[in-house]
Amino acid sequence: MNHLVKICGLSTPETLDAALQAGADLVGFVRFAKSPRHVDLALGQKLSAQAKGRAQRVVLLVDADDVAIADAVEALAPDLLQLHGHETPERVAAIRARFGRPVMKVFGIAEAADLAVLDAYSDIADHFLLDAKPPPIAEALPGGNGLPFDWRLLTGLDPRLSFMLSGGLNPGNVAEAIRLTRARAVDVSSGVEIKPGVKDPVKIEAFVKAARAAFAVPVL
């Protein structure tokens, strides 16, 4: 995974266009009914068609069953499935085999011990996304909470490990996050919004620019 910027939770043609114009490499569509960013199948299909050939299209699912995944794959024809729930290595392998799409498994990080589980997925998931663990309150979403985790937890990771960084990133902090973690790919949702579920084209452009500038700084 090399120098990629993903804008997640896009749900209107206008903000999707802003992400594409800004040069996002990946665009994410959330399929999780409780989310303010959830897209139904008809809207998801329309947005995905708009992004086709311009960015990698990612469908985000949370502990989805095969029927829900099949519906999303048929309607949105994603390039990548982002699994944002508690999917076991066996479940990730089964989804990958059944749906024939690369899979990005998400890991919630709050402490060093949370990184230990990555090993179990290393031969199974195509990509890792390291996100903040959701806050321990009943109404918290599994992701998209705009909360960063302590990026210093990643400094001990094997430098060959490729991962996408997310959780509370925004145009103002993404450069520091890249510098500290040496992430080669970043993902944002809340940090480019005016309020939950409402993306801001100006913030989207600023985020992509800030990430690209930070990626251009040589790693020492």
Ligand X SMILES: O=C(O)c1ccccc1NCC(=O)[C@H](O)[C@H](O)COP(=O)(O)O
Positions marked catalytic:
8, 131
Q: Which of 154, 178, 137, 185 is nearest to 28 (CA)?
A: 185
Shortest Å, Cβ 204 to ligand X: 12
Does the footprint of ligand X cover residue 191 (CB under 6 A)?
A: yes
Choose which of 7, 75, 141, 206 interacts with ligand X (CB under 6 A): 141
Q: Which of residues 50-69 bind ligand X (CB under 6 A)?
A: 60, 62
DSSP secondary structure code for residue 24 in this structure: -
Instruction: Answer yes or no: are the C-beta atoms of 146 and 191 closer than 8 Å.
Output: yes
CA 34 to chain centre: 17
Burial zone of 185 (CB within 10 Å; 0-12 exposed, 13-18 middle, 19+ buried): buried
Residues 6+ apart with CB under 8 A from 1: 127, 162, 163, 164, 184, 185
Q: Which of residues 149-168 bind ligand X (CB under 6 A)?
A: 166-168
Q: Which of residues 110-139 bind ligand X (CB under 6 A)?
A: 131
CA 138 to chain centre: 22
Does the footprint of ligand X cover residue 181 (CB under 6 A)?
A: no
Output 48 or 220, the one with its CB closest to ligand X. Answer: 48
Choose which of 15, 143, 149, 215 interacts with ligand X (CB under 6 A): 143
Count the site residues for ligand X by CB under 6 A. 26
Instruction: Give the torsion sign (CA, 132, 211, 39, 129).
Output: negative
The site string for ligand X over 75-114 (x = CB under 6 A, - otherwise) reads: ---------x------------------------------
Output 27 or 73, the one with its CB closest to ligand X. Answer: 27
Pair of tokens at residue 52:
């086709």
Q: In the complex, which residues of this chain contact ligand X (CB under 6 A)? A: 8-9, 30, 32, 35, 37, 60, 62, 84, 131, 141-147, 166-169, 187-191
